[in-house]
Structure 1
Amino acid sequence: MAAVVEIDDLRTIVAESLELEPGEVADDAHFTDDLEMDSLALLEVSSRVEKQYGIAVQDAALGSLRTLADLRLLVESLLAEGTAA
């Protein structure tokens, strides 16, 4: 069974990384365009994801993240890989 990651949990991670309220992070908000997320903020998101889910997000994967949906797919994929291993 595939791992299900709640979008609101990821919204909280992104918001805390940017020192925002979760309500300020819309589902379709583009990380770099709408939220002005830079590489340091992405690293903070990666660190928080690793802590919460016990998975490591590779630096190369960080660059492909654009929205909460992208982050969710990545986390679910990494969790599935960890389960299969």
Structure 2
Amino acid sequence: MTPPILRETDSRGTLRSGLPDRYLTPDDIAEIFGVPVETVYQWRKKRTGPPGFRIGKHLRYDPADVRAYVTERESADAAA
């Protein structure tokens, strides 16, 4: 199942995948996946969630990497 925000449009501009055309924050990732923001930080620590990167002290996620992560998880779930 695709997370709901991946299908919605955003008034700030969106990519074809439905994700905003900007780097995503941990709060955005928590909203997309419907998990607490603490879970997003645990995923980062355990290297199990979508790949993120730091810009100074701020954690950000590239929408293309998030889309690739979702696609990869869908493929893995379909194969199982």
TM-score by length of 2: 0.48
Higher relative contact order (CA 8 A, sep 6+): 1
Q: Which has the higher helix share?
A: 1
Q: 1 or 2, which has the higher strand percentage?
A: 2
